[in-house]
Amino acid sequence: MNVDLALEQLLDARTAEVYTKEELHKKLQRSAETGIPLRVKLGVDPTAPDIHLGHTVVLRKMRAFQDLGHTGVLIIGDYTALVGDPTGRSKTRPQLSYEEIEHNAATYREQVFKILDPERTEIVHNGDWFKKLSFGEVLRLTSRFTVARLLERDDFANRFSKNLPISLHEVMYPIMQAYDSVMVRADVELGATEQTFNILMGRQLQENMGQERQIGLLAPILTGTCGSVRMSKSIGNYIGIAESPSEIFGKTMSIPDNLIGEYLRLASEFEADEVERFERSLSDGSANPRDVKFQLARHLVSLYHGDDAADKAGSEFEQIFSKRDLPDEMPVLELKRDELEEGRIWIVKLLKLANAASSNSNAIGLVQQGAVQLDGARVDADAPDVKIESGMTLKVGKRRFFRIELSN
């Protein structure tokens, strides 16, 4: 493989910054000559286990390295998760228990191979080395860093200037991440741009400990479905790759129009010229944003669930939202006959049985707002005891449907 071409491929839209391009070129060159693959590190935090589109940007970058013959080293940060990455946070994260972390890590491993090449992936836990360090060794390690240097980090600096707390263990996070790089002898470390500081620390520590420093390759941060802040599970503005086809489809359709380009560029597998064509048609008005979004949604579903699922999700979406029809399949709400009184049930009770309302008040609110329909007829808040027959359809809001089945 031609090194210049490889470099060009690696530095596509999914790369925001490289530290440094020259060094990367050199490493690629040497690897090509010696046949020794580069070790490309990515640390993952098993705090929120579900991989979402935001993670895929960087995972696809790792895949790109793997396709060029290099080795992906995935570090499950079971020990760093005990700290919680303070990146981008104005608050200390809650610490997770070891059991939660293990469970999350397992989920992560399951999902990650939807993108990575298992043949070229090493998975390690950083607890493997951290749990063996003695306190003396920790002290020796920390002596290589200074407080002033650590306070250069944006989020620490911000919090510091706003008089918000910074716990000492949080400061350990970048140090631990840097040490990971040393332990796996990383040639390249991947991460989103918010990881800049941590990754540069790794470079510094590797040099300090007599290794060649790693390349930092930073991916852009994907904006969440809300359109304003980064995609994050804890915020809830995410599209998870393990989510159901209809969820992925629907959530994609719900992104603000001005986000379409970003998703095409960072989260899709469309070729660069296709992306460009889409973007041009959007900006010159020749395409309806809805239609482009529709194609994007189909594409994303097929990436994680296959073409058939994508077709189905697409037609279901049209059925429900364009034609305002009922979906072909809907969850069944089983209702025992003795829940009814003379064939009637209090609508609030029904909503709670369907798990469509969190409380009676919530359910009453929904009814009053006209969000509840039975067989297409709006439930009147003044007549809350509704007659139920088997096979009826309950609709709550625009997108929650249930088929009611009576049983004894």
Nearer to RNA, 142 or 369 (CB): 369
Nearer to RNA, 200 or 301 (CB): 301
**Which secondary-structure segment (H or E) carries 41?**
strand 39-44
- Give ∠ CA 86-92-97 in degrees, rounded to 5: 95
Nearer to RNA, 140 or 290 (CB): 290
Collapsing DSSP states into helix, strand and coil, what is residue 408? coil
To the nearest whole angstrom, how small is the minimum distance from the Cβ of residue 175 to RNA? 20
Nearer to RNA, 100 or 385 (CB): 385
Question: Which amino acid is located at 242 in the chain?
Answer: A
Nearer to RNA, 1 or 164 (CB): 164
Nearer to RNA, 201 or 255 (CB): 255
> Would you say 112 and 43 are in contact if contact means Cβ atoms under 8 Å apart?
no
> Would you say 283 and 219 are in contact if contact means Cβ atoms under 8 Å apart?
no
Nearer to RNA, 40 or 260 (CB): 260
Residues lying near RNA in the complex (CB under 7 A): 163-166, 226-228, 236-237, 246-247, 249-251, 253-257, 288-290, 293, 317, 321-322, 346, 348-349, 358-362, 364-366, 369-371, 384-385, 396-400
To the nearest whole angstrom, how small is the minimum distance from the Cβ of residue 320 to RNA? 7
Enumerate long-range contacts of 78-82, CB under 8 Å, 24 or more apart: 78/46, 78/102, 78/105, 78/125, 78/126, 78/127, 79/125, 79/126, 79/127, 79/130, 79/131, 79/176, 80/43, 80/45, 80/126, 80/173, 80/176, 80/177, 80/180, 81/45, 81/46, 81/47
To the nearest whole angstrom, how small is the minimum distance from the Cβ of residue 190 to RNA? 29
To the nearest whole angstrom, how small is the minimum distance from the Cβ of residue 360 to RNA? 3
To the nearest whole angstrom, how small is the minimum distance from the Cβ of residue 161 to RNA? 9
Residue 96 sits at φ, ψ, to 5 deg, of -95, 155
**Omega of the bond leading into 20 within 30 degrees of 0 (cis):** yes
**Tokens encoding 67:** 């396709």
Q: Which residues of 4-14 are buried (b: 16+ CB within 10 A; e: fewer)?
A: eebbeebeeeb
To the nearest whole angstrom, how small is the minimum distance from the Cβ of residue 61 to RNA? 28
Nearer to RNA, 62 or 366 (CB): 366
Distance, in Å, from the CA atom of 173 to the CA atom of 82, rounded to the nearest integer, reads 10
To the nearest whole angstrom, how small is the minimum distance from the Cβ of residue 331 to RNA? 14
Question: Which amino acid is located at 119 in the chain?
Answer: E
Nearer to RNA, 113 or 321 (CB): 321
> Would you say 5 and 205 are in contact if contact means Cβ atoms under 8 Å apart?
no
Residue 294 sits at φ, ψ, to 5 deg, of -60, -45
Collapsing DSSP states into helix, strand and coil, what is residue 223? strand
To the nearest whole angstrom, how small is the minimum distance from the Cβ of residue 227 to RNA? 6
**Tokens encoding 91:** 């608050």
To the nearest whole angstrom, how small is the minimum distance from the Cβ of residue 404 to RNA? 17
